[in-house]
Structure 1
């Protein structure tokens, strides 16, 4: 592994930046991160890690487009989600952290489209929606197994339109 993927940030909220450079976007790095996250069993450590990770890619590697349009980034995100199906439990749900976009890139990369301004748009397909719901349910179940309410992962829905958010919450929470 080239360099460290994990940097503790001295930022508000105690966020931990996972910066994946071109050199460390590998299956081995994804497996290493999965081993670290899947190995957390201590309740206090789990509490300190919940919702604190932010995935990032160096801006200089993607000056003209969103990194989520890159097949290598999509593959890495897919490998991470395959190895840590409850990944959303660990990802921050703060505005601007794009956790939901990362999941869509992992489960249905064809749903991401270049926006023309260097960013991306999402045109959600049935496969993308199913994959996102599955990831959200996995995170909610993981939370519940470890003594949390399933609600702790609902923050990932905050930026969605209310009608969609309510339907997804109903599916995940079983209400």
Structure 2
């Protein structure tokens, strides 16, 4: 069972995407990830973008922990429907609309990201399906870069069998962590100096 781990909605169960359309982030990985993000002060008041959202659990967890706004982007119809339902759960608990859902391919969304009303993203989760090629991951990072806040944090989740992505010039990795079969890369906008 997927659940919100902490924050105002801690312990609330979430709806999972049936079948094998998505690969949910385990509670162990999610707990470690959010502990790190909170220690970096990357959540409170943040504008969060969750690309390849699956069930939306990372974005919903962010809302529970104090994010100002969360945009879930998912193309698969079934998964996008689950995102809508999970967004409704957290929005009801919060008493306001913090989490919204875009049913869109990531490339299309990034081409029109300014339509969301968010000037810059403070925190971005990128958790693509493992079969997605590295060139597509790098293209998504490059397309995202102009819309990042100066102190933004990007979290890229991939299989430990996937190679490190080729980071575009506008983005630089600052850390990585392995949890079983999952590897998280942490990146930020490159210093323009």
Tell me, yes or no, whether TM beats 0.5: no
Query: TM-score scaled by structure 2?
Result: 0.26
Query: TM-score scaled by structure 1?
Result: 0.28
Higher helix fraction (1 or 2): 1
Higher strand fraction (1 or 2): 2
